Amino acid sequence: MRLLGVLPSDDVLQQCIHCGMCLAVCPTYEMTKNERSSPRGRIKLIKSVARGEMQITKLFVEEMNFCLDCQACETACPAGVKYGSMVEAARVEVDNTSYRSWFYRFVKKFLLRTIVGSRSKLKLVSKLLRIYQNSFIRKMLHKSGVMKIIFTNLEEIDKLSPTVSEKFSDEIIPEITMPKGEVKYKTAFLSGCLMNVMFAEINKDTVEVLQACNCEVFTPKNQICCGSLQAHNGDFETAKNLAKHTIDVFSSYQFDYMVANSAGCGAFMKEYGHILSDDVKYAERARNFSRRVKDITEFLTETDVPLKLKSMAESITYHDACHLAHTQKITEQPRKILKAIPGVSYNELEEASWCCGSAGIYNIVHYKDSMVILERKMENIRKTHSKVVVTGNPGCLAQLRYGAQRFGVEVEVMHPISLIRKTI
């Protein structure tokens, strides 16, 4: 059970037996070889704060933010330490101090809470961003180098931002999509926040694959955001409100499965039952909701839907999104589908479950560290000689696309469902 938002009790913190098995899989320890930047070191710091032996210092704040929250350490830990919930709880504590940078506060309070937390505002900002992205002003700003004067990494952050979709998915996906044949399953689909405005084609591909698998698909237009970005950045109040809204919105429809195509969203919706367990009105509904959440690759491989795949001559590799591999323990399902496509040559990626450095807003607030991690990932991708790298999370998609450009790797970056859509 995860302990979102509350510093863990002493017996939970004592679960760490200091074996160090997690050190080898931790990207921040690998970068620094500094014990305090390892999972074990951070647990020790959190323990000291939770016991009142240490005040929250600038160093503590930096360490909690330096962590990617990739949860690779959880997968490696023989003692079952739930590190992710510890660091997320520590970030909530940190938020109440004055050590947060203005930039972080801007991203968290303005972008994540006010903009991402409202579908209409996010759509408005995205429309403005789309005008900017298609304009000559962007090219001029990049050419002149003026962005670097305003903020050192602003130009690079601008380049790694995903392109806003020509049409948002709530403009191209109907609320109810019926299959051609008899309905096998009734599914609900989270079109999400950033997925809705920046990855609309992937959402459309998802609905079309579900439809081809004889599923009825409910995609409500008044959904907003599942709350995962806010929760991972220490804003649990906003995250809980968004979770309740999501449960309410989907409650008007009787569905067998709640399907997600974003690793972070799927992982967080599976936590609703826990994070709302103290809420009298929502606890039971949240548990019931979470039980039915499935990642799209999980849904396609674990149910008996008729998925017929046509041949495709493609050389592909697969990058595990952290929230799929480490949080949801979904590693076999996407590989199973990709390998089942006739004609595909599948190349396993070295360190496939090593974070790509995207990690929510990590590549914005820790741009330089994120690039060190990304370079390692891109070199591993290059070594596979694959034409396509597949990954199931929007953050990873944007990061790898940027990485391919920045580090000169000739590879197309795709979501697994878009590849599957091409073969049905």
Chain residues in the site for ligand SF4 (CB under 6 A)? 16-22, 25-28, 39-40, 42-43, 67-73, 76-77, 79, 81, 83
The least distance separating ligand SF4 from the CB of residue 59, rounded to whole angstroms, comes to: 16
Cβ atoms of 192 and 264 within 8 Å: the answer is no
Cβ atoms of 292 and 256 within 8 Å: the answer is yes
Q: Which is nearer to ligand SF4, 81 or 122 (by Cβ)? A: 81
The least distance separating ligand SF4 from the CB of residue 73, rounded to whole angstroms, comes to: 3
The least distance separating ligand SF4 from the CB of residue 367, rounded to whole angstroms, comes to: 16
Q: Which is nearer to ligand SF4, 17 or 149 (by Cβ)? A: 17
Identity of the amino acid at 365: V
The least distance separating ligand SF4 from the CB of residue 326, rounded to whole angstroms, comes to: 8
Give pairs for 55-59: CB < 8 Å, separation 24+. 56/93, 56/94, 56/97, 56/99, 57/99, 58/99
Q: Which is nearer to ligand SF4, 77 or 417 (by Cβ)? A: 77
Q: Which is nearer to ligand SF4, 36 or 274 (by Cβ)? A: 36
* Structure token digits, residue 41: 């070191």
Q: Which is nearer to ligand SF4, 301 or 391 (by Cβ)? A: 391
* Structure token digits, residue 93: 């504590």
How many angstroms separate the Cα of 400 from the Cα of each of 322, 336, 345?
14, 22, 20
| Contact partners, residue 301, CB within 8 Å, separation at least 6 | 332, 333, 336, 337
Q: Which is nearer to ligand SF4, 83 or 168 (by Cβ)? A: 83
The least distance separating ligand SF4 from the CB of residue 402, rounded to whole angstroms, comes to: 20
Helix, strand, or coil (residue 358): coil
Q: Which is nearer to ligand SF4, 125 or 372 (by Cβ)? A: 372
The least distance separating ligand SF4 from the CB of residue 45, rounded to whole angstroms, comes to: 11
Task: Give residue 27's Cα distance to chain centre.
Answer: 17
* Structure token digits, residue 161: 């931002």
Distance, CA of 207 to CA of 259 (rounded, Å): 10
The least distance separating ligand SF4 from the CB of residue 84, rounded to whole angstroms, comes to: 6
The least distance separating ligand SF4 from the CB of residue 359, rounded to whole angstroms, comes to: 8
| Contact partners, residue 158, CB within 8 Å, separation at least 6 | 138, 141, 142, 147
Sheet holding 314-318, edge to edge: 344-346, 314-318, 388-390, 412-414
Which of 390, 379, 295 lies closest to 345, judged by CA?
390
Sheet holding 176-177, edge to edge: 176-177, 215-218, 185-189, 257-260, 293-295
How many angstroms separate the Cα of 158 from the Cα of each of 94, 130, 268?
28, 12, 27
Q: Which is nearer to ligand SF4, 85 or 169 (by Cβ)? A: 85
The least distance separating ligand SF4 from the CB of residue 12, rounded to whole angstroms, comes to: 12
Q: Which is nearer to ligand SF4, 64 or 226 (by Cβ)? A: 64
